[in-house]
């Protein structure tokens, strides 16, 4: 459990509001709010004060991440463990998006982006590439979050920056993901030629995670479906074979959505573009039925639910 989640749990159990707690500590309510959302790390001193006020018997002190707090104040304290901590926080935010919305988590992602950008600027040369890679991922995720809100210009700007940073960090996984998200954004706007070029670039590096390669193959099939049906069918078959070869044990907190049920929905979109509308609806219904409950009703699955209802 994160520091913020534990503090909120204790506040609810003790019947203490955030503003009342801020007065008792004392601390600025805005700062406390960011700590409770795990956007801002708690210092050891703040953890002790909150622990006392909430009668936590040391539970909050045990959860404080002093290295992350120090790194936030002094970028020269950044080390791989600090970056791993932010990566874990980002993974938790992705899970939160599954049960909420892009608008809910975007402010948190912006805070992370600001913090890690500072880390990358001030970090030692030996740590900087890893920090830049994480900045790339945060740009990439922030860009993705703008898509459901149809903020196309913001999405494109963030994804372009994510691609450049991914290349600077020499990180094929993050670079390929940024390119594929940029292709998706272009496709959603009907910019087929741009989407095709970005998708082709995303397919060039075969060293990335098998789930990402599968996603990019499906994406290329959907983009080609309107202009080159033979190529689209070939890619669709290739992507389906790739799904069957995926190993569930290889999925991580950064690739957890690359499951057969997720890809069945992607398969349905390609079939629809190829004119197989009824079959596409059958496949989409199968996909939604097999998604975990929190995914089935998530905002990112709204396009899939709408497809089935149309």
**Per-residue pLDDT reduced to its tens digit, 229-277:** 999 999 999 999 999 999 988 888 889 999 999 999 999 999 999 999 9
CATH code for 1-64?
Answer: 1.10.260.40
Residue 65: the pLDDT is 64
Residue 30: the pLDDT is 86
Give the whole-angstrom CA distance, residue 270 versus residue 234: 12
Is the pLDDT at 162 greater than 90, yes or no? Answer: yes
Could you report the per-residue pLDDT of 184-209, keeping only the tens digit for each? 999 999 999 999 999 999 999 999 99
Q: Count of CB atoms within 10 A of residue 310's CB?
A: 8
Nearest to 200 by CA among 227, 226, 182, 174: 182
Could you report the per-residue pLDDT of 11-58, keeping only the tens digit for each? 999 999 989 999 888 888 888 888 888 777 777 778 888 988 899 888
**pLDDT band of 304, cuts 50, 70, 90:** very high
- Taking each helix axis as running N to C, give the angle between helix 260-273 and helix 277-290, from 0 to 180 degrees, rounded to the nearest 10: 160
Q: What is the pTM of this model?
A: 0.80
Residue 35: the pLDDT is 85
Q: Count of CB atoms within 10 A of residue 302's CB?
A: 12
Residue 70: the pLDDT is 62
Nearest to 215 by CA among 271, 248, 259: 259
Domain coordinates in residue numbering, the chain: 1-64, 66-169, 209-310
The residue whose two tokens read 């992602």 is: 109
Question: Which residues 6+ apart lie within 8 Å of 176 measured at CB?
Answer: 166, 202, 205, 208, 212, 216
**pLDDT band of 92, cuts 50, 70, 90:** confident
Q: What percent of the chain has pLDDT over 90?
A: 64
Least confident piece of the model among 31-40, 84-93, 166-175, 269-278: 31-40
Residue 204: the pLDDT is 95
Give the whole-angstrom CA distance, residue 137 versus residue 275: 35
Residue 85: the pLDDT is 84
Residue 72: the pLDDT is 63
| pLDDT mean over 92-118 | 91
| pLDDT mean over 100-123 | 91
Is the pLDDT at 67 greater than 70, yes or no? Answer: no
């Amino acid at each position: 459990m994160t520091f913020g989640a534990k503090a909120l749990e204790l506040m609810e159990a003790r019947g203490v509001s955030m503003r009342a707690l801020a007065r008792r500590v004392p601390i600025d309510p805005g700062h406390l709010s960011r700590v409770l959302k795990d956007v801002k790390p708690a210092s050891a001193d703040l953890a002790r004060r909150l622990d006392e006020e909430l009668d936590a018997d040391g539970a909050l002190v045990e959860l404080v991440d002093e290295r992350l707090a120090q790194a936030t104040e002094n970028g020269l304290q950044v080390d791989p463990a600090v970056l791993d901590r932010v990566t874990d926080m980002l993974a938790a935010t992705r899970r939160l998006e599954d049960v909420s919305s892009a608008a809910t988590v975007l402010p948190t992602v912006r805070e992370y982006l600001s913090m890690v950008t500072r880390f990358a600027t001030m970090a030692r040369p030996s740590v900087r590439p890893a920090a830049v890679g994480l900045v790339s991922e945060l740009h990439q995720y922030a860009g993705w979050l703008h898509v459901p809100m149809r903020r196309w210009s913001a999405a494109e700007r963030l994804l372009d920056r994510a691609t450049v940073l991914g290349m600077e960090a020499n990180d094929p996984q993050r670079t390929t993901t940024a390119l594929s998200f940029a292709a998706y954004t272009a496709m959603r706007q009907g910019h087929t030629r741009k989407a095709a070029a970005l998708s082709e670039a995303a397919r060039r590096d075969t060293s990335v995670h098998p789930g990402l390669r599968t996603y990019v193959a499906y994406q290329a099939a959907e983009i080609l479906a309107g202009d080159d049906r033979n190529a689209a069918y070939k890619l669709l078959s290739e992507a389906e074979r790739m799904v069957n070869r995926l190993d569930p044990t290889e999925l991580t907190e950064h690739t957890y959505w690359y499951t057969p049920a997720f890809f069945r929905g992607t398969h349905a979109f390609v079939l629809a573009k190829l004119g197989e509308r009824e079959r596409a609806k059958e496949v989409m219904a199968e996909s939604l039925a097999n998604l975990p409950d929190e995914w089935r009703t998530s905002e990112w699955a709204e396009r899939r639910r709408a497809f089935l209802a149309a």
